Amino acid sequence: MKHALKMCQWDEQDIMELIKLAKQMEEGSYENRRKQPYVVANLFYEPSTRTKSSFEMAQVKLGYKRIPFDVAHSSVQKGESLYDTVKTFEAIGVDALVIRHEQENYYKEWIDQVTIPIINGGDGCGQHPTQSLLDLYTIYESFGSFKGLKVGIAGDLRHSRVARSNVEILHRLGATIILASPEEWKDESLMQYGEYCSMDELCEVVDVLMLLRVQRERHVEQMHSNQANYLEVFGLTERRMSFLKRESIIMHPAPINRGVEIADQLVEHPKSRIFTQMKNGVFVRMALHEKIRLGGWK
């Protein structure tokens, strides 16, 4: 297997191999014996700060060469399809592509016709596997296991590729999933992995509180509550912080809507792992790149 598209493609052994490899990246103990330049390109059709910069930093640390790509100054503006752009990079000799695109499953129609590895940097409301991997790495750093953990995922579930990636793999790794969301953003398909409850109830029992960004750019429906109400009803307030267990941690994929999903003063609270997640993203993406470069999975 050469591509990295969905979390369901990996079993527990694959995940633990990546976590251990990411740890080697963080400790600086990984030895890269590559001699020939390995060339990658990052095709981001949606705005991104953390994911794109994190991939770029991972590639720099690994010594990869990068071919610049800017949608606004490419043949995309002349109507070129994503498939033709991918085949162009394949033809000129790029070794791997990282792609973020607003279309869910953007790769589905042509993935079997591409010979170079594709790493999914996020597909619409579909999947975000590298965010999920860095979330797993961050949880594993704090607890050393996934089995028996109670993970609460709260917020804009319907539009979240982070939630969609995380619930299945965390459930499969032995965690209990608990969900909280405004009625208009509930996703019934996630109920096969966990039950919904109120935000107060969720905060009282979880080991990991994973807050989701309110994704206004993907909303077609009117939000029933205003921003101030959202924080009070579904966000992490000072009051709810007092409900959390002593060892609980707070996570958020960012960018953060301060004062909406989380009270501003709690973003850098000792329980918060939000910036740790960003740091860990580099090591996880280094591990994923190297695993794929060395042949991927069976």
Structure tokens at 252: 């958020």
What pairs with residue 14 in β-bridges? none
The answer on whether 50 is annotated among ligand-binding residues is: yes
The answer on whether 103 is annotated among ligand-binding residues is: no
The answer on whether 171 is annotated among ligand-binding residues is: no
The answer on whether 77 is annotated among ligand-binding residues is: no
The answer on whether 100 is annotated among ligand-binding residues is: yes
Quote the CA–CA distance of 248 and 161 in Å, as a whole number. Answer: 23
Q: To which residue do tokens 């610049």 refer?
A: 68
Alpha helical stretches, state H, 67-160? 82-91, 129-143
Looking only at the bridges linking them, the beta strands covering 118-123 and 194-196 are unpaired
The answer on whether 239 is annotated among ligand-binding residues is: no
Would you say the C-alpha torsion 280, 86, 255, 192 has a positive or negative sign?
negative
The answer on whether 34 is annotated among ligand-binding residues is: no
Structure tokens at 158: 């319907």
The answer on whether 159 is annotated among ligand-binding residues is: no
The answer on whether 213 is annotated among ligand-binding residues is: yes
The answer on whether 128 is annotated among ligand-binding residues is: yes
Quote the CA–CA distance of 281 and 124 in Å, as a whole number. Answer: 20
How far is residue 49 from each of residues 28, 55, 134, 254, 255, measured CA to CA in Å? 25, 10, 16, 10, 8
The binding site for L-aspartate consists of 78, 161, 213
Annotated binding site: 50-51, 78, 100, 128, 131, 161, 213, 254-255
Q: Which residues are annotated as a binding site for carbamoyl phosphate?
A: 50-51, 100, 128, 131, 254-255
